[in-house]
Amino acid sequence: MEKLHVDFAGMRFPNPFILASAPPTRTAEMIKRAFAAGWGGAVTKSIALEPAKDLQPRLRSLRYRNQPIGMENIELSTTWTLEDWRREISEIKSAYPRRPLWASIMEAPVKKNWQRLAEAIQETGVDALELNVSCPHGMPSKGMGAFIGQNAELTGEVVSWVKEVAKVPLVVKLTPNVADIAFIAQAAKEHGADALCTVNTVSGLIGVDLDTLAPLPAVGGVSTYGGYSGPGIKPIALRCVAQIARATGLPVSGSGGVAAWEDAVEFMAVGAGTVQIATAVMWHGYGIIENLVQGLARYLDEKELPDATSIVGAALAKLVEFPKMPLEPRVLAKVDETCNGCLRCVVACRDGGFQAISGVAGERAAVDAEKCDGCGLCALVCPRSSIAMTSCS
């Protein structure tokens, strides 16, 4: 597995898969089990000078056909004290001295607090500090998390404060809940960030109980906006990673919706040097690392790529602004012999497209080339992948 090794901001990882700062990194015992399972690195649960108190319950899933496709949390930073974490980190580093461990830290924009926290944590031998200026719920009301990360000036100040005392690399974790994440990323770079991470969860409201009309997850009959994660935020996360990678040139740790090795390759292709995962671990356990590692290794072999690093940024040159998108070549829908005549494409094209597909239940659908506009809706809804968009020429 030598080809899976990656260098990131001066740190050597056995593979690019990192446990994100979240419940799976809540204790030393948990992180050590993850390292034993094969994870390349980990970021501790976010540490503050004052421990948080969590709500119960604080998680809720978004489901489609009874399968979770996303999750909202209203969980805060760690409930442990700074001294608790100093002991825990020392224990982890003693057991796994060569496995990169980052400490996630967060505070209100007070210089002495950020510096006190950074100095106390880095004494434990932690490999990097991840500055959490991106938590979208709970903490902003205290002047923490996204309260800082949504303001370029504040973000820059916090980075500069920690940089004054830092003896290890600074990774700044950015929020997607901004108009221009590249602008915030540039401020972090200008004030001393060694690397960036994105995205944290997306601010959201997961749903409403139809019986009580209380927002979810309900605690004592009320709720609040939370952080949405899982496969549903992957497109947002990919866009953010690509934007900050191009804007800053700094190493980027990508996060948001990664559930399989294929997702990891996509994140790396748009500029991520490492990939962070939380929700998928919460749903399926640390054991998913085996498929992640084996899948990535197999992909590198099949594509005859020398190592994982060769993927990083490979797709960025193919990202252009919309006015530069080509109007040619044109494409048309083509239905193959696997079509079973379910007519989903017929309905979709009739009511959401160009009325270019016709058919009879149980028989192969037909495409009118004169009417087809090549939008791709029919291929999107086909449950059997029986439709492909092919060149008109």
Catalytic residues: 135
Positive or negative torsion for Cα 227, 228, 230, 232: negative
Query: Alpha-carbon distance 314 to 326, whole Å?
Result: 20
Say which DSSP state 125 is in: T
Coil, strand or helix at 28: helix
As to burial, measured by CB atoms within 10 angstroms (0-12 exposed, 13-18 middle, 19+ buried), residue 392 is exposed
Task: Classify 92 in phi/psi space as left (phi over 0), alpha (psi -120 to 50) or beta.
Answer: alpha
For residues 135 and 46, the answer to whether their CB atoms sit within 8 Å is yes
| Residue 314, both tokens | 């490979």
Report, in angstroms and rounded to the nearest whole number, the Rg of the chain calculated over CA atoms.
23
Hey, what amino acid is at 37?
Answer: A
| Residue among 138, 137, 124, 178 at smallest CA distance from 154 | 178
| Secondary structure E strands in 88-189 | 101-105, 128-132, 170-173
Query: Alpha-carbon distance 254 to 294, whole Å?
Result: 20
Q: What are phi and psi of 155, to 5 degrees?
A: -60, -45
| Residue among 167, 243, 168, 238 at smallest CA distance from 202 | 238
